[in-house]
Structure 1
């Protein structure tokens, strides 16, 4: 969930064509979505870019996507966030997000970031309850991001991956993971203090209006199937060193590993494979689709 939400972080976008108060409500069956087909010999892989938060009006998706899912006996996702094991793993990982030696996030972060966090807590009663002093900085970041999205009406329960995970379990499909919950929740533990501080400054600087505008734009591009525009939102060329380290770890490294896993799964069985990953992993530089092309797949946007 942590990586999922952060994958929507981007440079300030242009205003979307959909209504600011009803982002992407023309989605669902009328939306093209970010959807590709990859083939190599007998291997057939459908790849759908997910936005990991959403709203009920998003579903069902257009028939071509729903049909491809229905015909595939196997579903591969970044992590099965709906499984009991995943939820237990997440809970255990969360315990690792707290200091037990007397330290607080205030001891570990620059004074200006601490001041921004305290101001945000004053403005948001929910954050006063959820952000505790003994949390590690990455855990504080997780809480702030989740609260920002929920405050503007986007719910992870309506994320595209969750929608298809529930359908897959109802249909008895095989569910496979490209990463797993533990790998995702341990992501920020590997960052140095400067990078986490940078990400906190970036997130805390956003107004609710800016968060809403960013997500509206993402849904607008997703609805139109505009992979190029969405990829352009990930600005690595003009980014400071901290953001470049984040982009390299969040996208480049993970994209390579995901492509290797998809490649391996395509060889295990001849049955169609339906893959759902965050849309940002399928666009921009060094994306999963390019890595699959390098492995001999022919990739077509549908």
Structure 2
């Protein structure tokens, strides 16, 4: 996996909203313990709100022994002490010896047998979750270890704030999160995020980009970066089938974000799958209020205020890392996901505190930590005895000026979850 700027960890807005304000609808996919199940040319279908998938690939991936009775058009399967039976065209089925009624009957389409994925998976011992925005069914075995993540519980005078470190790009199949995280959202009166992109319209986004991401003084991108760097930008565009002048009107920081979005998407990661967006969607479904710790404008201004020299280094870090001294540690998205899944505080703390350009770290991390900590302290000092789940990029958690140690220094009760 290509190494990328650490910005992917910290900016919920610029690694999600700028790539697409609204994800396009797509066909359903099915993921088993983090790996997508391939159905060849027979894609899953949705009928009356029920996802049906080709029988044989599903049962093979679940480790279920399959039997087919041609005379009765009945499918039976077994896995250890677990068993199921379904009949084509009938909503009557059996699950572990008990009769059940299916929401949709199994059917055959072009000689392919389709069955309800939820019934089959739950009967054979798997947890099932559905993500509407991704059109993704996630199957998780009871033995599968969910990612730990980074979660703290902070308490003061009857108020509780759960602080969760997020990754804005994660592999499909990550969800549901471990029970402590899911339960923290259920217990929360409010969800706090860096920026609630579900409340940002495409018109608002375009307005801010035109205000802060576009040159207005008659200059173009090539006037603000070296000829060599500009040639690398045009080469990148050409390699990705885009006109070589596509980025000319945009400032370096915005170009960096667009290049990064293209790179991570090619690796199978999209911001719509991020932990913060997953929790935003669940909060909206539960009609929980969402509060933003920052604004879209403040995040853009932070990037816009970086010096031209730093902006060019960030651009090169994504285009040609070996050609420049990186302003932040170079790690892969796979490494970051591994760090999150394992809940490796030592690795996160080391990543947060070493190998940073001073200007970049001050603007990207320290200044924002200070403002977000103030907001969280306000929640903890409120007089309504409320509970919040606050989700921020995991780079904001630790280190000398991190949110968690800052709250500890203030005397709040902080407990690792």
Alignment TM-score, normalising by the size of structure 1? 0.83
CA contact (8 A) 1:54 1:157 kept: no
The alignment status of 1:215 with 2:218, answered yes or no, reads: no
Larger Rg: 2
The alpha-carbon deviation at position 29 of structure 1 amounts to 5.8
Counterparts of residues 114-263 of structure 1 (less than 5 Å): 114-126=230-242, 128=243, 131-206=246-321, 214-234=332-352, 236=354, 238-239=355-356, 243-263=357-377
Instruction: Report what 2:214 is aligned to.
Output: 98
The alignment status of 1:67 with 2:67, answered yes or no, reads: no
Alignment TM-score, normalising by the size of structure 2? 0.62
Instruction: Report what 2:163 is aligned to.
Output: 47
Distance 2:313 2:321 in 1: 13
CA contact (8 A) 2:161 2:379 kept: no
Q: How many residues align?
A: 278
Q: Which secondary structure does the structure 1 equivalent of 2:290 belong to?
A: strand
Structure 1 272/194 Cα, relative in aligned 2: closer, same or farther at 3 Å? same
The 10-residue stretch of structure 1 (41-50 or 152-161) with the greater mean CA deviation from structure 2: 41-50
Instruction: Report what 1:271 is aligned to.
Output: 386
CA distances 1:221-267 after superposition (whole Å, capped 9, x unpaired): 1001112202322454x44xxx2210111111111110011111222
Q: Name the structure with the higher helix share.
A: 1
Q: Which secondary structure does the structure 1 equivalent of 2:332 belong to?
A: helix
Please identify runs of 4+ aligned residues in structure 1 that moved more than 4 A.
26-29
Higher relative contact order (CA 8 A, sep 6+): 1
The alpha-carbon deviation at position 6 of structure 1 amounts to 5.7
Distance 2:246 2:343 in 1: 37
Instruction: Report what 1:14 is aligned to.
Output: none
CA contact (8 A) 1:3 1:187 kept: no
The alignment status of 1:7 with 2:6, answered yes or no, reads: no
Give the gaps of 5 or more residues in structure 1.
9-21
Give the gaps of 5 or more residues in structure 2.
12-30, 36-139, 323-329
Q: Which secondary structure does the structure 2 equivalent of 1:5 belong to?
A: helix
Distance 1:102 1:31 in 2: 49
Counterparts of residues 75-86 of structure 1 (less than 5 Å): 75-85=191-201
